[in-house]
């Protein structure tokens, strides 16, 4: 095993990269070592790539870092300086140290990487000088080729570029020529571009275990912030998230938060998660917290109006927030919404659905109708051609035909507005093709 990288204090003890671990421990017995975790590195680079994707559509994940193409992004951020400043701010929230290189090609930028972050683009002359004064030791070549460079007195990249390409290929092989072409941008970068995954799945682990619901809020916040970055990178909004809490031993617990409207605010999602967390039972000690979602909505947020009037959108957003809060606190089964259906028969025109599940329908109802109907239509008496229900009823207006399924005679009705001697009004109907009359509704 060898040292991959080391801190400044370790360097003061004589430790340097590529030194064997046994030699490093001999130089500094109290040396604290951490084993490399490739899978965690890969996950971390994926998270950083999502941040970078908000600044450039061209992002490439390298084995040791990220490449971003900045050309074409200047107008969006008004200047390269503002772009780099905002990128630095984002990265510093997720990284302690950043090494950065800027050049005309991806491979040259990696070659010029130095510790620290620059918010100013170097001048072209400065970039050219830095590039040509790069040590050949940084090239990806064999030890034998490095020895050949030294024997020929070739120290810097400028020395290599001064030689004819044919001679380089003959002496060192075609691979070195292809590497120079990539560095100079003569050959396009053929690495695969990064695209955000189609679904979101992330987790945090606590080897010590989390014993309280309050203790879960901090890692849940971190995961929701990662989700927010993912949604911004994809320019979409989520409609549902799922939490999973896994103990070291025993069964897991989970909860699903379904939103009445699309959302990408981590703080709103955290508030809803906190409310629903109070309603579930959790294992004694939670080791792993998992957040996932695959339900997304594309486009603009609901509160945004392209023509400047946001009042309707804001009102709808507040309504959705109230519905989501009540659903998280009481459970989705506790909320119901009366809506109009597409059935012409009055007793079947209304239905109860979960909030947010109803799509508006257009029903050709017209004319005066009572707001509330009787539980069931009540048959009227006909006394000497006079309608009677508790007392005589008199027709004021009608008929108005309401029909749904024309082939069913019991669904063909003629409706009338009637009143009694005291002025109370009633909603009556006569079954088509019969002499049967019914009262179905009362007006206030």
363 found inside a domain: no
The pair of three-digit structure tokens given for residue 241, joined into one six-digit string:
């998230």
What is the tally of structural domains in the chain? 4
Judged by DSSP in three states, 414 sits in strand
Count of beta carbons in the 10 Å neighbourhood of residue 68? 20
| Dist CA 336 CA 347 (whole Å) | 18
Q: Name the strand (E) or helix (H) holding 314.
A: helix 311-330
Q: How far is CA 15 from CA 3, 64, 114, 182, 419, in A?
A: 8, 21, 20, 33, 101
Residue 407's pLDDT band, with cuts at 50, 70 and 90, is low
Residue 191 in tokens: 């690495």
242 within a domain of the structure (yes/no)? yes
Asked if residue 66 is part of any domain, the answer here is: yes
Asked if residue 194 belongs to a domain, the reply is: no
Q: Which runs of E-coded beta strand occur in 62-131?
A: 66-68, 99-100, 114-115
Backbone angles phi, psi at 286, to 5 degrees: -100, 125
Assign 215 to helix, strand or coil: helix
Dump the DSSP string for 20-68.
BHHHHHHH-TT-------HHHHHHHHHHHHHHHHTT-S-EEE-SSSEEE
Domain boundary among 297, 330, 363: 330
Q: Residue 172 has what pLDDT?
A: 87
At 262 the pLDDT is: 67
**Pure H helices in 331-372:** 346-349
Look at residue 378 and tell me whether its pLDDT is greater than 60.
Answer: yes
Q: Are residues 101 and 135 in the same domain?
A: yes
CA separation for the pair 112, 96 (Å, rounded): 20
Q: How confident is the model at residue 417 (pLDDT cuts 50, 70, 90)?
A: very high
The answer as to whether 357 is a domain residue is no
pLDDT tens, residue by residue, 176-230: 899 899 899 888 887 888 999 999 999 998 888 888 889 999 999 999 999 999 9
User: Kind of pairing, strands 114-115 and 200-210?
Assistant: unpaired
Do residue 231 and residue 244 come from a single domain? yes
| CB count in 10 Å sphere of residue 233 | 19
Q: Flag the least confident range among 11-15, 212-216, 296-300.
A: 296-300
In a shared domain, residues 313 and 244: yes
Are 47 and 30 found together in one domain? no
422 shares a domain with 395? yes
- Three-state DSSP class for 69? coil
Which domain CATH number covers 1?
3.40.1170.60
From CA 127, how far away is CA 142, in angstroms rounded?
26
pLDDT in tens, 38-48: 888 888 888 89
**At 440, phi and psi to the nearest 5?**
-120, -25
**Ordered DSSP codes for 141-162:** --HHHHHHHHHTT--BHHHHHT
**266 and 213 both lie in a single domain:** yes
Q: Average the pLDDT over each of 85-89, 174-178, 270-274, 359-363 and give the range with the smallest value.
A: 359-363
- 48 with 176, same domain: the answer is yes
Going edge to edge, which strands form the sheet with 381-383? 381-383, 386-389, 391-392
Same domain, 26 and 113: no
Cα–Cα distance for residue pair 324/335, rounded to 1 Å: 10
pLDDT at 394 over 90: yes
Residue 291: CATH number of its domain? 3.30.1490.100
Same domain, 42 and 32: no
329 Cα distance to chain centroid? 23
- Residue 118's SS3 state is coil
Same domain, 275 and 387: no
Across 82-88, average pLDDT: 90
Domain that holds residue 412: 373-442
Residue 366 in domain: no
Residues 6+ apart with CB under 8 A from 303: 310, 313, 314, 316, 317
Same domain, 54 and 161: yes
In a domain, 226, yes or no: yes
| Residue 32 and residue 43 in one domain | no
Residue 173 pLDDT greater than 70, yes or no: yes
Domain assignment present for 345: no
253-263 and 337-340 beta bridge pairing: unpaired
């Amino acid at each position: 095993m060898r040292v991959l990288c080391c801190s400044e204090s370790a360097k003061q003890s004589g430790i340097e990269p590529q030194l064997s671990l046994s030699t490093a421990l001999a130089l500094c017995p109290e040396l604290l070592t951490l084993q490399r975790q490739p899978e965690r590195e890969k996950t971390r680079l994926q998270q950083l790539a999502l941040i970078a994707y908000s600044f450039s559509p061209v992002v490439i994940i390298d084995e040791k870092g990220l490449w971003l193409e900045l050309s074409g992004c200047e107008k969006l951020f008004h200047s390269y300086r503002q772009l780099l400043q905002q990128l630095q701010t984002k990265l510093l929230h997720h990284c302690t140290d950043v090494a950065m290189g800027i050049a005309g090609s991806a491979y040259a930028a990696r070659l010029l990487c130095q510790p620290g972050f620059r918010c100013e683009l170097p001048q072209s002359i400065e970039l050219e000088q830095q590039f040509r004064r790069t040590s050949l030791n940084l090239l990806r070549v064999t030890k034998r080729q490095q020895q050949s460079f030294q024997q020929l007195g070739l120290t810097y990249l400028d020395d290599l570029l001064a030689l004819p390409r044919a001679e380089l290929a003959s002496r060192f092989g075609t691979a070195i020529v292809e590497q120079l072409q990539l560095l100079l941008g003569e050959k396009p970068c053929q690495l695969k571009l990064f695209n955000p995954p189609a679904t979101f799945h992330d987790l945090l682990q606590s080897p010590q275990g989390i014993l309280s619901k309050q203790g879960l809020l901090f890692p849940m916040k971190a995961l929701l912030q990662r989700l927010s970055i993912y949604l911004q990178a994809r320019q979409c909004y989520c409609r549902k998230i799922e939490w999973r809490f896994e103990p070291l031993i025993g069964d897991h617990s989970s909860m699903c938060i379904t939103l009445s409207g699309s959302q990408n605010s981590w703080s709103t999602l955290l508030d809803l998660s906190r409310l629903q967390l109070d309603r579930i039972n959790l294992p004694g000690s939670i080791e792993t917290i998992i957040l996932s979602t695959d339900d997304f909505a594309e486009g603009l947020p609901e509160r945004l109006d392209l023509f400047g009037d946001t009042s309707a959108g804001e009102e709808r957003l507040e309504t959705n927030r109230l519905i989501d809060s009540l659903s998280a606190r009481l459970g989705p089964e506790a909320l119901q919404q009366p809506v109009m259906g597409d059935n012409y028969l009055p007793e079947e025109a209304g239905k109860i659905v979960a909030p947010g599940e109803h799509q508006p329908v257009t029903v050709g109802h017209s004319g005066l109708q009572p707001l509330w109907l009787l539980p069931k239509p009540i048959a009227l008496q006909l006394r000497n051609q006079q309608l009677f229900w508790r007392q005589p009823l008199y027709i004021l207006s009608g008929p108005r035909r309401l029909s749904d399924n024309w082939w069913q005679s019991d669904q063909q009705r003629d409706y009338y507005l009637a009143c009694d001697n005291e002025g109370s009004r009633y909603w009556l109907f006569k079954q088509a093709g019969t002499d049967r009359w019914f009262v179905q509704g009362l007006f206030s």
